[in-house]
Amino acid sequence: MSQGHLECIFGCMYAGKSEELIRKIRRAEIAQKKAIIFKPKIDNRYDENDVVSHSGLKAEAVPIYSEKQILSIYKNFGPFDIVAIDEAQFFDEDLFEIIDILLEKEVTVIATGLNQDFRGQGFGIMPELIARADKTIHLTAVCQVCGEEATKTQRLLNNKPAPFDSETVIVGGKEQYEARCKNCYERG
């Protein structure tokens, strides 16, 4: 039996993960593939419904509270050739079972997310998701301090590195986060 495959697009903030996801979905639609994008409801930085890149690219998405909603939407509105999941770091381990079910249905699953939290540690399910992926794309950004290649996300509080013991999930944008290289990253 043939199976689908899992692609994982990951990196720090401002690396272009959502932009790459939108590009892949647009190409799939040109190829007459039926695709759907899911995003976590808590990510409402730029739009309540659409996936929006930091540069302003947009794609229609379905905001969900729980990864469990993916299968019911797939059953009611599918089948889909491609199921995309933006900001996968905000979902929990139940996502693995859902992805496995979709892969058995020969669906291509594309997931994006931050591979590290602001502490430089693996973010949520992302390390395991990357390990399970058939194809990975590791994107980097430009360090907002020195201009070199950035792989870290620096959370700021009053323009200083946020304390290491701050809560992990705080959805934000340029007012709270910067892309940094290893040399410019500071532990709060």
How high is the pLDDT of residue 139?
Answer: 98
Catalytic residue among 19, 67, 87, 178: 87
CATH 3.90.550.10 fits 6-139, yes or no: no
Tokens of 78: 């599918």
Task: Please confirm, yes or no, whether 186 is among the known catalytic residues.
Answer: no
Instruction: Give the pLDDT band (50/70/90) at residue 54.
Output: low
How high is the pLDDT of residue 51?
Answer: 73
How high is the pLDDT of residue 90?
Answer: 92
Beta carbons of 60 and 50 less than 8 angstroms apart: yes
For residue 150, give the amino acid letter: A
- pLDDT at residue 159 tops 70: yes
Instruction: Give the pLDDT band (50/70/90) at residue 15.
Output: very high
Average pLDDT of the residues in 159-185: 81
Phi, psi of 151 (to 5 degrees): -125, 0
How high is the pLDDT of residue 1?
Answer: 46
pLDDT: is 107 or 172 the higher one? 107
pTM: 0.90
- pLDDT single digits (tens) 85-118: 999 999 999 999 999 999 999 999 999 999 999 9
pLDDT: is 15 or 174 the higher one? 15
- pLDDT single digits (tens) 132-156: 999 999 999 999 999 999 999 998 8
Beta carbons of 114 and 108 less than 8 angstroms apart: no
For residue 27, give the amino acid letter: R
